Structure 1
Amino acid sequence: MSVTSPLRSVAVRVPATSANLGPGFDTLGLALSAYDELTITGLPAGELDISVTGSGADEIPVDESNLIARTVRYAYESVGVAAPGLRIDARNGIPHGRGLGSSGSAVVAGLLAAKGLLEGRAEFSDADLLRLATELEGHPDNVAPALFGGLTIAWTDDETPRHTKLLVHRGVAPVVFVPDRTMSTSTARSVLDPAVSREDAVFNLSRSALLIAALTQSPELLMAATEDRLHQERRAQAMPETDALVRALRAEGFAAVVSGAGPSVLVLADGPGRRLEAAALAERHTGGTWQALMLAVDFLGGTVREPAEGASLHEL
């Protein structure tokens, strides 16, 4: 492939994610089939042109503070190459500020764009991408599924982020209920206790292990597997409507959890029919004010390609 030209363009697509999945706090993440899609073009140094449509378009900055632009510069600096100017055309399908990994997906989009723009001049391994994304985002549980797709388990080993990817049982049918208000991750974290009891720690360890089995082999175990004692009850005070919906759904046998830091609610239904029942219950409970997103598990993760080509330069 030829050396990057100043006007080279890449097309990037990154899935939404839902982290924690109940008991797997800061560890488990799932890629979902809502997407941010971007075309990013290299310009002469110092130039910046950002256009955003879709979710969050009115709030996302279009100057040097833009997260995608900052991430592209960070990736270039990491390999010792001067960053170009950028034209960013973003079409956001991931609800912003609602617990579906929008900031992590923006970081992943910037890293994949840099990888594509630098093709032939610098290389980024999967480990490089996860490390850089974690440095920028702070936690690997959201960026890992955005990068690699599927169900991911993320951890750190000697301060190095690592992950493994698992395939989700085809009987698992996700549905996300999205309110019209947002919640910042920092606010959601501020209400958490700094210490937990041994009993609660063991409880969550057992449920997290069970959740892996439920998602990969035995969806009928999802109700028990999504129980949590570490974060959801403590966050209820910051998002009472979310807590009320989770409780209403679980009372009727649906495996409902807070999606990421909230305020969206994720239901891991054990079949398409069950998620339709969950949607009907949620509509009655909320008066139809929450949007129901019937999603699939995204198994591919983030991709980058040349806009005129069908083949990806990078598929994780």
Structure 2
Amino acid sequence: MNNTHYEKMKTGKGFIAALDQSGGSTPKALAAYGVPEDSYSGEDEMFTLVHQMRTRIITSPAFSSDKILGAILFEQTMDREIEGQYTGDYLASKGVVPFLKVDKGLAEKENGVQMMKPIHDLDETLSRANERNIFGTKMRSVVHDPNEEGIKAVVDQQFDIGKKIIAAGLVPIIEPEVSINSADKEKCEEILKSEIHKHLDELSDDQNVMLKLTIPTKANLYKELVDHPRVVRVVALSGGYSRDEANEKLKENHGVIASFSRALAADLNAKQSDEEFNDKLQAAVDSIYDASVNKK
């Protein structure tokens, strides 16, 4: 594990940029960026275009380590280059800590949750991640309903895989997202917090994780997780909230920083001039940074 990256993630001021849209969500990300599906043919072209989009974001002067602590990458992005360097190496050269999305998407809803699909090539992916200067990983599940059995299964799966990631020398971001559309979001969050806390208490002193959670309905609900000795950082996903709404909710949660995706890139468009693109990105970065470091 890179100790410089660890200290930056533990104590640094700023937020994590989520640039990890995968095969299923990439068409939506490109469409939001002004690149419709009928403008490319096949996955290769699609991934090339999304890499161009991510490259434009990452190389922008607005994408600075002064306010951005880390960036989460899709596997295809990790294996591609920016200005002659693998993406993780390029980020590290800018002082931004690289993470990798390792999950393979969501299973069908069962017991009110969506577990992760099996990750059959995890060992090989983690080995390659270590070669690519990756510090940590991210994997996402989704909680829809306050089903205790389902939520326990989600958290069990997250931590079981998380321990394998720790054993490979990386820091896992545990992400059991609670849907903002849940009919009983607050109850889901109470159950989730309890299950996560149980697993944190079972970790040994050399096993550390990060948590990526939906901004809770009850402000500071996760404060005891923020303060847990086994937690490097708690970060929040925007979860479908607009940037303004996500920022306002985030400000109410002390010790929690952003890890936004759509809320970061919402105003960016392929047709913008470099000046307009950089200005829009800078405005987004500034507002998300402010919400991450300045609390109500």
TM over 0.5: no
Select the structure with the greater relative contact order (CA < 8 A; seq sep ≥ 6).
1
Tell me the TM-score normalized by structure 2. Answer: 0.29
Tell me the TM-score normalized by structure 1. Answer: 0.28
Higher-strand-fraction structure: 1
